[in-house]
A and B are shown apart, each in its own frame.
Chain A
Amino acid sequence: MLRTIIVDDEDLARSVVREHLAAHRDIQVVAECSNGFEAVKAVAELSPDILFLDVQMPKLDGFEVIELMDPKPAVVFVTAYDSYALKAFEVHAVDYLLKPFSGERFTEALEHARARIAAPLPAGLTALMEDHRVHEAPLQRILVKNGASVVVIPSESIDYIEAEDDYVAVHSGGKRHLKQERLSELAQLLDPARFIRIHRSFILNIDRLARLETYAKDSRVAILKDGTRLPVSRSGHDRLREIL
C-alpha cells in the first residue's frame, strides 16, 4: 500500500487528483492539505510515500514544503505554471504535472513515483545535485521546523547565526532557533551584502553591529547592538573591512 498526501489550496484541484488516485487499488490517500503549513505537519506525522504538491499556496510554497520535509517522499508537482519545472528537477521531483492533465498523464506520473520508491536516487547523486543547485536570488527567509510546526524567520530579522555541530542556531530578537544545516551552506544562500561570515562558527547581520573592539593583533570582538559579543577571526575581519 502506498500512502499519499494531496496538497493544493483549491478544493477542486485536490478532487481531480483524488479521483485519479481512486482508480489505483494500492494507493491510499492519508491526508489532504490546503496550505504549506498543514503539508509540513502532515508529512511529519504521517510520513507518506508520495506527495502531490501544488507550488503556489498560502504561507509556504511547494518548494519550501520540500525543504522542510525529512525524510522526503516522492514528490509530483501539480501546477498550472510551467516556469517551475527546472527548479522542480533540482529538488528531485519525480514528475511535473501541468494543470489540467489527462488520466494517462497522471498514471505516467504515478508510475514515475513508484519507480522512484522502488529505486531511490543514490545519495552521492543527490549530494552532487545539491552542490550544483542554482540560486537566483538570496534567501529572503529561513524556515525552521519545530516538531510538526514551522517558524518563518524573515532574513532582516536575523541577528546572527551560530554553528552548533550539525545544526545552526538562528538568533532572532532574543530567540534561538535550531535548524539542521551547515553554516557554510547557509552562508552561500544569504544576501552577501548583509550577512558576513565573521568567524568559522558565526554569520553576522551587519545591521546589528554596534562596534568592533581590538584586544590584540588577531583578537577582535564584534559588539552587537543588544550587547552580544561575538569573536571575529582574521579572515572575518578582512571580510568585514571589505563591506564596511
Chain B
Amino acid sequence: MVSLPPNPYITDMHPILKDRRSLIVYLAAWLTLALMLTAMLALPGRVSWAAVLAFTLPLMFVYAFITLSAWYICKAFPLGVAPLARILVTNCLAAVFSSSLWVLAGFGWVAVLNTLQEGMIPPAWHIDSLPLLGSSGIVLFLLASAVSYLIAMFEASREAERNALQLRVLARESELKSLRAQIDPHFLFNSLNSISALTTVDPPAARAMTVKLAEFLRLSLRYGALDTISLTQEISLTTHFLAIEKIRHGNRLAITVEIDDAAADCRIAPLLLQPLVENAIRHGIDGLLGGGTIGINATRTGDQLHLCIENPVDAGALPKEGTGVGLDNVRRRIAGLYGTDGRITTLRDASRFTVRIDIPVRTPEEN
C-alpha cells in the first residue's frame, strides 16, 4: 500500500478551531474589535449606538470566521519556503477579496435591518462609512494573516523541539540496548566449541554445560530487560558466566566473591559487572600460562556502594584488540545513570588490573 502524503488542507485543522478555549478567546478578541469599530462608526452621532451595534456585531461575527481562511493561505505559502513577495501579494489580494465580500454582505445586512425597523440604518450613513469598513476589513484580514504566521512558526519550533527530544530518547534507548548487549559472541562460539568437544569425551558434562549456558542466557535476557537489579542478582549472573568459563579454562580459572551483607540488596543497572568480568578473563587470565584468580568484592559505606573487580595480568602482554571498549561502555553507562555521583577508576600495576566502581546506593525502598 502506498501511503499518501498528508494533505494540509484536510488533516491540519485550524489551531483556533481545535479546542473550545482558544475559540472563546478568539471570539472575545473579535468582540473587542467589534466594539472598537462600533465606537468609530457611532462617535459622529448620526446614528444611534444601538443601531450601529446591531449593524457591526453580526458582521464582525461573520468576519471572524472569514479571516480564519488566512491560516490556510499561511499553510499553502509557508514562511521561508514560498518567496516572500508571493506571500505578501497573496495575502494582500486575499485581504482585498475578503474585505470586498464582507462589505457586500454589509449591504445585505443593512437591507435586512431596515426591513425589520424602517430607517434604522440610513443608506447615506452606510455609504459614508464604506471606506472605514473596507479598510478595516483589509487590516483585520492582514492581522489574521500575521497571527497565523506567528502560530505556524510557534508550532514549527515546538515540533522541532519535540522531534529533537524524541531523537534523544531513541538514541539513548538504542545505546542502552547495545550497551546491555555486552555479551561477547565469541564467548558463545567458544562455549559451543567446548560442548562440541564434550559430546564425545563426556556426554553428561556436555549436557550440563548446555544447561549452564541456557541458564546464563536466560538470566541475562531477563535481567537485561529490567532497569535495575539487586547486586545479588548481578553476582548470580556473573557466577553463571564464570561457571561456564571454568569448564573452558579448567584449573586455570579461579574465582573469589566477597559481598558485604549491607551491599547485597543495593540496586544496580543490570549487566554492569558482566563486561568487566569478561575483560578480566580475556585480557587477564587468557594471557597467563598458569591462569589466575578473579576477585569480585562489594562493600557499602553509608550511601556509597563500592564494587571492585581485580585480575592478574601478564606483565609482558600487549594490549589485545578491543581493549577498552567494554570498559568505555561501562564508564558511559555509569555516567548516564549516576552523572557525577558515579565514578569508575582503573589501576594497573605490573601484575594486577583493578577496576573500582563507586556509585550512590539505591535500595529497594528508594525505587
Contact = CB atoms under 8 A, between A and B. Distances in A.
Nearest to A13: B193
B192 interface: yes
Most chain B beta-carbon neighbours within 10 Å: one of A56, A57, A152: A56
Contact of B314 (A12, A15, A59, A81): A59
Contacts of A9: 252, 286
Interface string B301-342: 000000000000010101011000000000000000000000
Interface of B is mostly: helix
23 contacts: A10-B190, A10-B248, A10-B249, A12-B198, A12-B201, A13-B197, A15-B197, A16-B193, A16-B196, A19-B197, A19-B201, A58-B287, A58-B314, A59-B287, A80-B186, A81-B186, A98-B189, A100-B192, A100-B193, A100-B195, A100-B196, A141-B316, A154-B316
B200 interface: yes
Counting contact residues on chain B (CB < 8 A from A), the size range is: 20 to 34
Contacts of B200: 19
B43 interface: no
Interface residues of A, number: 25
Interface of B: 186, 189-190, 192-198, 200-201, 247-250, 252, 286-289, 314, 316, 318, 320-321
Nearest to B316: A152
B197 A56 contact: no
Interface of A: 9-13, 15-16, 19, 34-35, 37, 56-59, 80-81, 83, 98-100, 140-141, 152, 154
Most chain B beta-carbon neighbours within 10 Å: one of A12, A34, A58: A12
Contacts, number: 63
Contacts of B288: 58
Contacts of B289: 34-35, 37, 58-59
Nearest to B249: A10
Contacts of A152: 316
Given A81-B186, A141-B318, A12 B193 contact: yes
A29 B287 CA distance: 25
Contacts of A100: 189, 192-193, 195-196
Nearest to B289: A58
Closest 8 interchain pairs by CB? Answer: A99-B193, A80-B189, A12-B197, A100-B193, A16-B197, A100-B196, A12-B194, A80-B186
